[in-house]
Amino acid sequence: MRIVRYRDERSTYLGMLKGEKVAIITMDDGTPFSCFIDLMKAAYDNDIELTEFVRNRIEERDFSYHDLYESKTNSLTLLSPIDPPEVWGCGITYKSSRSAREFETKTKGLYDLVYEAERPEIFFKATASRCVGPNQEICIRGDSKWTVPEAELAFILGPEEEVVGFTVGNDVSARDIEGENPLYLPQAKIYRGCCALGPTIVTVDEVGKEPDLEVECKIYREGELVFKGSTRTSKMKRRIEELRSYLCRFNPVPVGTVCLTGTGIVPPDDFALRDGDLVEITIEKIGTLRNPVKQL
Ligand code: DO4
Ligand code: MG
């Protein structure tokens, strides 16, 4: 099942996708669910599995599917499918990220060690206010000259810290700031517009708990394609369950926490994002997350 969130001039909706068509997910009184976390909590409180709960919320109300991308009023806006209370990130989960970090750092050896170590690198990445959804601006810090997108599969945790689904994540990062000193990691990672999420959430019943999905990243400058890279999540060194269990170890996380699983796509070392660029990340079965870039 794929879930989207969008708004028109009247309200905000959660919908279940069927191709390009969407059906609104409603509460008992017919009002639409507008928050994925509320939807997960409602399914949990009713002791019903999330996808079954969603199907009931649509069939019972007999809503017909409408076209998501061509609203009658043309004022329909796709939103981030979730406003996560916390976003965490995993690092050096692909060989390509290990080499990129070793190249940029002045503190050699650290990233080689963490790639081989039993414990993964997991860092705090963002709160909802720092995240953007589809078509919203991701940002380059005003004090960074070398910022890049990081195309990552992101998992979403439910009420029992279980993986309920996946979305596309962009862990926008300042390579120059992290490269100067690894202790600057939070500044390289956490700032306004540092993370994009969307466009849909695909639930585990559709892709499994350890999905092997193709990930692609394209960057356009003045309409021209200036970078294209791809990988598969099966090239990741760690399993989703390994990352999930380390994240939650002695660290209760709120329902709706999102965790980015690390990047396997690194643009050439002389490439930096610029104001006005457009970043497109596509993950098979989830969709394409598109964001323009703004220099702060
Ligand atoms: O230590 C740096 C974080 C690396 C990262 O974000 C990634 O591998 O995706
Ligand atoms: Mg990353």
Cα 133 to middle of ligand 1, angstroms:
21
Helix axes 36-45, 50-59, angle to 10 degrees: 100
> Model pTM greater than 0.85?
yes
The domains found in the chain, sorted by start residue, are 2-78 (no CATH), 87-295 (3.90.850.10)
For ligand 1, whether the C-beta of 92 sits within 6 Å is yes
Long-range contacts of 47-51 (CB under 8 A, 24+ apart): 50/158, 50/164, 50/203, 51/1, 51/203, 51/205
Q: Which atom of ligand 1 is nearest to the CA of 123?
A: 3
Residue 103 CA to ligand 2 center (angstroms) comes to 15
Q: Is 263 in the pocket of ligand 1 (CB under 6 A)?
A: yes
Q: What is the pLDDT along the chain (296 residues), one digit of tens a residue?
A: 999 999 988 899 999 998 878 899 999 898 999 999 999 999 999 999 999 999 999 866 555 566 665 544 557 899 999 999 999 999 999 999 999 999 999 999 999 999 999 999 999 999 999 999 999 999 999 999 999 999 999 999 999 999 999 999 999 999 999 999 999 999 999 999 999 999 999 999 999 999 999 999 999 999 999 999 999 999 999 999 999 999 999 999 999 999 999 999 999 999 999 999 999 999 999 999 999 999 99
Q: Are 89 and 189 in contact (CB under 8 A)?
A: yes
C-alpha 37/C-alpha 108 separation (Å) is 41
Is-cis flag, bond preceding 199, omega within 30? yes
Hey, which of 107, 263, 281 would you mutate to test ligand 1's pocket, going by the most ligand atoms within 8 Å of its Cβ?
263
Mutate which of 93, 148, 171 for ligand 1? The one with the most ligand atoms within 8 Å of its CB, which is 171
Q: Say how many Å lie between the CA of residue 53 and the centre of ligand 1.
A: 36
Residue 85 is predicted with a pLDDT of 98
Q: Please choose, from the candidates 66, 97, 290, the residue with its C-alpha nearest in 3D space to the C-alpha of residue 178.
A: 97
Q: How many A from CA of 92 to the centre of ligand 1?
A: 5
Residue located nearest, by CA, to atom 2 of ligand 1: 91
- Per-residue pLDDT at 67: 67
* Angle, CA 261 vertex, CA 101 and CA 160 arms, to 5°: 145
- Rounded to the nearest angstrom, the distance between the alpha carbon of 152 and the centre of ligand 2 is 7
Q: Is 83 in the pocket of ligand 1 (CB under 6 A)?
A: no
Ligand 1 site-directed mutation target among 88, 90, 92, 152, most atoms within 8 Å of CB = 92
pLDDT at residue number 65: 65
Residue with tokens 């503190």: 107
- The verdict on the CB of residue 91 being under 6 Å from ligand 1 is yes
Q: Are strands 224-232 and 214-221 parallel, antiparallel or unpaired?
A: antiparallel
CA angle 199, 36, 173 (to 5 degrees): 50
Query: In angstroms, what is the span from residue 61 Cα to ligand 1's centroid?
Result: 44
Question: 150 φ, ψ to 5°?
Answer: -125, 110
Q: Which pLDDT score is estimated for 280? A: 98
* Separation of CA 137 and ligand 1 centre (Å): 21
Atom 7, ligand 1: residue with shortest CA distance: 91
| Alpha helical stretches, state H, 196-295 | 204-207, 240-248
Do 33 and 39 meet the contact criterion of CB atoms below 8 Å apart? Answer: yes
Closest ligand 1 atom, residue 97 Cα: 8
